Chain A
Amino acid sequence: MSEQHVVITLTEIGKDFPDPANPKGAPRPALHSISAGIRTGVITGLVGPDGAGKSTMIRLMAGLLKPTRGTVRTLGMDPIGEAEALRHRIGYMPQKFGLYEDLSVQENLNLYADLRGVLGEERRVSFARLLEFTALQRFTERRAGRLSGGMKQKLGLACALLGQPRVLLLDEPGVGVDPISRRELWKMVEDLARSGLAVLWSTAYLDEAELCDEVLLLNEGQLLFDGPPKSLTDKVKARCMHVFGIEGNRRQVLKRALDQDEVMDGVIQGRNVRILLRDSEKHPDLARLGAGPDAGIRNVAPHFEDGFIDILGGGPGGESVLAERLTQIPLDGAVVIEAQHLTKQFGDFTATDDVTFKVTRGEIFGLLGPNGAGKSTTFKMMCGLLTPTSGTAMVAGYDLKRSGSAARQQLGYMAQKFSLYSTLSVRQNLDFFSGVYGLYGAKQRAAVEEMTEVFNLAQFLDAAPDTLPLGYRQRLALACAIMHEPSILFLDEPTSGVDPVTRREFWTHINGIVEKGVTVMVTTHFMDEAEYCDRIGLVSAGELIATGTPDDLKEMVAGGTRDDPTMEDAFILLVQQHAEERARTAKAA
């Protein structure tokens, strides 16, 4: 490794933005007094949930924002005062990669080369090197808009690398990209860092943090941790446990575990329950968890998320006040969601290709796959928002093609990013959603009142949803989807980009709801979220390539050097196996 220099220093920087709810009032701080340094030769991860201040921090370093307090020095220069000189030396890839979709790969490169003054021999050499590096040689004539997510990401990186910058700032490069491309990009960036570049990689995925050399962990504008990820996970190393060999209901075990004083956090992980202890010496009483006679407890490798939760002071409790209010639906083992040979074509593009699955009552079923794999299309056909080209979608015994509205009455739907009407108040949102799901009169009033009480929303009733703290916004979105007591709940990317405490609170409710006999179907591209599901369908390029419990899927790829594969490992290997198989059958035919 080459010698390391600190090339970006932040000294007690703060940044305020006008409060959208009250533009004339006091500005809201997006970053509070942060001091940190970024070194050459390593990948520094800027990690945190959405809205933590990651983009703001990167923009401060690139001179696109001016700090309200404190000083920033990038390559020894003031990013505002010496912007002109600095812009030639930093490579910056914004979210969505900053590419012109109407321009071809080569035209995008030409544009940025001209703008950055990469000319003559240097230009020729750079293009050749970057095209080879990104494996885009064959696609130079293709428009950027027609590239896959992974190829766009590489082209974005290539454009940012023109002019041989000393610093590479990447704002959420992993979003909208499949796990295979994400790993490829990571390797490329790692090589760049080893060759002496300073690389900042921002991400909301906590599993990416573990791969970084250095991590800056941001939450709500505060720097919670600065250092190698291992020093964070080391703090919780002895306190991460699996409760294994559980007989019966894992969700009940988790709920009881979270009630124990010794346990500070817990999640479901496949067929085990993962817990974080307050004290490595004090184990919870296994008998009180009701996990069955063969259950045991064992130490497992810590994750970055455990460390994050530890800093935040632990997760929420295991009790869902919402679920307590719901009427129990008898668990009769009936198939309530069923897709049979579901296919959807848009022109000559097959978004969903012959997908078949069944979900029984009281189950959490997840569709896992990268953006653009066809999850949303499948999902929309299951809730009757899209008509399949062929095949049938059945929900609660209704064929969506024939009796769509009867079926829709049975289901609740929560769209991505808690989509609520931002121009309506919280109360109006509750009224509206209960109304569209057919509640009226005294019944509607009672439902709104109940939700207000359960989720503690009374203080926010007249506020706009966007001004609510994230946790409350999430509760409101869930309240709107569940008020009419549906027997089936559809969740679209429910917790991506959310901090771990808020995510746990959400899943506590979902676990509670499922215990009451509600069936839940989730789409996610978020590997962590998949662990909460009873069963998962892996979706890749429109096809359902594997179905099973999270543990089944992991076991399918276990063995050899991979004794403890992650969900992401499983995904990548299964996609590759599937592609090979296809190639073989194509050859045979």
Chain B
Amino acid sequence: MTTPEASQNEPRLPGTGGVRGFMRRLHALCWKETLQTVRDPSSVLIAFILPVVMIFIFGFAINLDSTRINIGLVLEDNGVEAQRFASSLEGSPYLNLKRGTRKEMERAMMDERVRGFVIVMQDFSKRLEHPGEVTAVQVVTDGTEPNIAVFVENYARGAWQSWLGQRSLARGEEMPPDIQMEARYWFNPAAESRNYIIPGSITIIMTVIGALFTSLVVAREWERGTMEALLATPVTRTELLLSKLLPYYVLGILSLLLCVAVSVFVLSVPYRGSIVMLVAVSSLFLLSALGVGLLLSTLLRNQFNAAQAALNAAFLPAMMLSGFIYEIASMPHFLQIVTYILPARYFVTSIQTLFQAGDILSLLWRDMLYLFLAGAFFIGLSFYHTKRRLDD
């Protein structure tokens, strides 16, 4: 028997350390990750099916525009003026008019067959004959749905205005000097909310799939016992972390391009920016989206928990606080502060800029800087928590 030192005069093994070793190991790990992803039907589902399904849901289900609203009319006066007012309502392109008695309309509103109704009272025409008397039209709406109630009220008011104008013209009266407001919606002339919703929803989709991808991959290695085997090889922390980012980054960009293609070619949302800027901005955003998932996966070491946490930590804040649906300016002050640390906030504005306005660098650079910082923060934290031992 000899001393342990005997083992030290061994030939040095080839390919240890150095840039070549780094590249070789990184390549091997990335290739392994790619094979695993391609062979796992669930990653195809997350990368390509989920985004398309989500974009269609967002594109069709969430619509902030009002389309034709069912509205009731109770005409208790048969006078000429009352008939004219009724036809003005009927002529509105935004309303489906149903006529009936008060009782019938009340019933109809309870059953949600109409969203509100207008009552023209018995003495409507008579009162009009007497200048100086106030003439009133009653509008009843469903207060449990304030959004729609406001629509009903506005449409009724619009019909009223157009009836008044016609009436003055018919009588040869001068219209009282009136200020006409004419709104022009820049960048989105038809004020189509879809043009605004779809780019925002791409943020949500990328947040979810980015976090889902990486939340599973480190935890999977721990669960299947392969992490221990990897740790016993000369793999470094950087190689391990990069191999968990690069393949999913590529996959993330692919699903992003798919989302944009579906938006532009299927849903006819105009895209005014360049592909280069799209990839640049999205790459920065993916850093943080992948980073969040990676961090959770590294900390929790359990696929189920990590995926649950990633969904909640990524999806909910992105949905609620990114300014995609709910206006940040109208949130309570402390919530507004919270939105500043949310990468999704910056991606929502920059991708909306790209879609609706184009490559406006003066607007984009600040968002891109924040996105970069957020990405660096999450990946840095994952790096810090990536262990080279089982107990440190």
Contact = CB atoms under 8 A, between A and B. Distances in A.
B25 A103 contact: no
Contacts of A89: 7, 10, 13
Contacts of B388: 83
A4 B1 contact: yes
Given A98-B225, A119-B15, 8 more contacts: A5-B6, A64-B389, A92-B232, A102-B39, A114-B24, A115-B28, A117-B14, A119-B24
Contacts of A101: 224
A502 interface: no
A68 B24 CA distance: 35
A107 interface: yes
Top-9 shortest CB links A-B: A98-B229, A114-B28, A117-B15, A96-B225, A92-B232, A94-B228, A76-B4, A115-B233, A75-B7
Contact of A116 (B35, B36, B234, B392): B234
B229 A88 contact: no
Contacts of B6: 5
Contacts of B8: 75-76
Contacts of A59: 228, 390
A65 B391 contact: yes
Given A6-B4, A65-B391, A117-B14, A99 B28 contact: no
A545 to B, nearest CB: 32
A116 B32 CA distance: 15
A111 interface: yes
B4 A73 contact: yes
Contacts of B191: none
Interface in A494-531: none
A335 interface: no
Contacts of A117: 13-16, 21, 24, 234
Interface string B210-252: 0000000000000011101111111100000000000000000
Contact of A103 (B17, B32, B392): B32
Nearest to B24: A114
**Residue with the highest number of chain A CB atoms closer than 10 Å, among B5, B225, B391:** B391
A87 B230 CA distance: 10
A366 B307 CA distance: 41
Contact of A65 (B1, B17, B27, B389): B389
Nearest to B228: A94
B17 to A, nearest CB: 8
Given A114-B28, A166-B7, A102 B35 contact: yes
Contacts of B15: 117, 119
Interface string A172-196: 0000000000000000000000000
B2 interface: yes
21 contacts: A3-B1, A3-B2, A7-B7, A59-B228, A64-B389, A65-B390, A80-B389, A87-B232, A87-B234, A88-B16, A100-B36, A103-B36, A111-B29, A111-B32, A115-B28, A115-B230, A115-B235, A116-B233, A117-B15, A122-B14, A159-B229
A99 B226 contact: yes
B219 to A, nearest CB: 15
**Residue with the highest number of chain B CB atoms closer than 10 Å, among A4, A59, A117, A163:** A117
A81 B391 CA distance: 15
Contacts of B133: none
Contact of A95 (B7, B13, B225, B230): B225
A120 B231 CA distance: 24
A81 to B, nearest CB: 12
A112 interface: yes
Contacts of A120: 14
B111 interface: no
A112 B7 contact: no
A5 B234 contact: no
A137 interface: no
Contacts of B10: 89, 166
A93 interface: yes
A47 interface: no
A84 interface: yes
Contacts of B233: 87, 112, 115-116
B234 A84 contact: yes
A107 B35 contact: yes
A84 B230 CA distance: 13
A94 to B, nearest CB: 4
Nearest to A17: B391
B178 interface: no
Nearest to A198: B7
